[in-house]
Structure 1
Amino acid sequence: MRYLFEEYAFDTDRRELYRGADLVSVAPQVFDLLDYLIRNGARVVSKDDLINTIWNGRIVSDGALTTRLNAARTAVGDSGEEQRLIKTLPRKGFRFVGTVREAKRPAGEAVGDTPAEQPKPALLLPDRPSIAVLPFENMSGDPEQEYFADG
């Protein structure tokens, strides 16, 4: 599934986040956190919900959760002060408040294609023949084979 918000495309099949045509580097837990917040944007997600989903119920510090939330905000160009996409509701939880559109992958588009790739025109052949000359090096160390590199 592909989620579109602002200038971002969040692709859950490829586990990639794009800002326009640029790929945004996102750590796996941060990706999972964004995925959970986007999919549950209609409700407030509690700290316990995030710990159970992202960390599979393992005990984590508030600092670890805060670090991942800050990384998620940074990935989507948000901040803790601005909170235009990921809102913190004190003593309640978190909510993805950006306007999200779901975009299903077109039938002809493979999962391996990047969203920025467009069909490329075929290269035209030149009117006259071309040749490329590359230097060779005798990597065998045998001086009797030097004529291959010279030829």
Structure 2
Amino acid sequence: MNKNNFVVNNWVIDRSSGSIQHRVTGEQKRLGVFQLKLLDILQQNAGKIFTREELTHLVWERRVIGNNSLPNAIHALRTALEDDGKQQRIIRTIPKQGYVLEAEYCQYEEKAEKEPEERATLAEEERVSPPLLPPLDVPMPQEEPVRPTRFTRGKRVLIALLITLIIACIGYLAIHRNNVAVPREVAKNIYSHIRLFALLEPGTQMKEQTVVFDRLKESYDILNKEINKKALRMSIYYRSENQMLNYTLRLYNTCEQKLLIMQIDHWRSDAVLLNKLILSETRRKIDEMAPCKAY
């Protein structure tokens, strides 16, 4: 039996597994639920310009989301499809209009559907494969390491962990205005499943950054309990600069991770709205995490 697959820039969209797979190299990348839905809408209407409002309505329907949810999803798709925000070869931003997926990068591919037994075998192999993106930072205090089922898998995870640790150091110690921002842990050992880091430039006072924690403390208490029940961990990196709060969270387990990057304007003006935004956006990411079997 044959079926049509949608292909964007040589990446085959596999809705059943929530991922895209390169048809030449076989590399597989997992997408979030809303990212996959966004890509599906764009490729079915390749060449059509969608406004921000149209895409927000079609992808998130009536959910309450942050102002950066759509731009973050677009950025994630560009990265996954080997595009970038400067060249915009595949997904273009049309000033004052919206976004469009270029039709020249889209095509249909007819592919024979595997028999049920073969698909079941493949699904089993995918479940025991090593995580695509292991945790970036060091383990939580008193956290026991995950024991692999066999030596070769443990070796691959260790190498991937070392590589991503280097990437994390480069990313979170990024140069900002020609000064190196250094992460300093806030509220250490208060939460069992959450770690908080303020990003400080040399000479910057910590007092300013503790205000952010004081405003969000109640939300962190709630989220710590929720992610504990789902065997998740969360690392938060933030920087307060005047009326702008740069806020990045990384939600992860032993199988995968999700990143959320937000820039919140006038975050000091309403503490209630700030807490609602952080809770709703974090819970949205929690819902995107696939169940993970501990090995």
- TM bucket normalised to smaller: 0.5 to 0.7
Change (3 A) 1:55 1:24: same
Residue identity matched to 1:9? V
1:110–1:103 Cα change, 3 Å: farther
CA offset at residue 39 of structure 1? 0.9
Equivalent pairs counted in the alignment come to 114
> Rg: which structure is higher?
1
Task: Evaluate the alpha carbon distance shift between residue 110 and residue 3 of structure 1 in structure 2; reply closer, same or farther with a 3 A threshold.
Answer: farther
Match of 2:5 among 2, 8, 29: 2
**1:62 partner SS:** coil
Unpaired runs of 5+ in structure 1? Answer: 115-151
How far the C-alpha of 1:99 sits from its partner, in A, is 2.2
| Alignment CA distance shift 1:93-1:14 (3 Å) | same
What is the CA–CA distance in structure 2 between the aligned matches of 1:61 and 1:100, rounded to whole Å?
A: 29
Q: Give the structure 2 partner of residue 92 of structure 1.
A: 97
Q: Match of 1:22?
A: 27
1:12 alignment counterpart: 15
Change (3 A) 1:46 1:88: same
The structure 1 residue matched to 2:61, chosen from 51, 56, 59, is 56
Q: Does 1:43 align with 2:68?
A: no
Distance in 2 (alpha carbons) for counterparts of 1:50 and 1:42: 14
Contact 1:2–1:12 under 8 Å retained in 2: no
Shift of 1:41: 0.9
Change (3 A) 1:49 1:35: same
Identical columns (%): 19
Higher helix share: 2
The whole-number CA distance in structure 1 between the counterparts of 2:17 and 2:31 is 12
Alpha-carbon distance between aligned partners in 2 of 1:110 and 1:17, rounded to the nearest angstrom: 21
User: Per-residue deviation at 1:35?
Assistant: 1.0
> Quick one: distance in 2 between partners of 1:104 and 1:16?
18
In structure 1, distance between residues paired with 2:74 and 2:115: 31
Q: Structure 2 vs 1, CA of residues 69 and 5 (structure 1 numbering), >3 Å: closer, same or farther?
A: closer
- The structure with the largest strand share of the pair is 2
Task: Answer yes or no: is the 8 Å Cα contact 1:30–1:71 preserved in 2.
Answer: yes
With over 3 angstroms needed to count, the CA separation of the structure-2 counterparts of 1:23 and 1:58, relative to structure 1, is same
Give a deviation string over 1:62-113, Cα, whole Å, max 9, x none: 211111111111111111111011001011111111421112442x524737
Whichever residue aligns with residue 100 of structure 1, its letter is C
User: In the alignment, which of 63, 66, 74 is matched to residue 71 of structure 2?
Assistant: 66
TM-score under structure 2 length normalisation: 0.35
Inter-CA distance 59–9: structure 2 relative to 1 (3 Å threshold): same
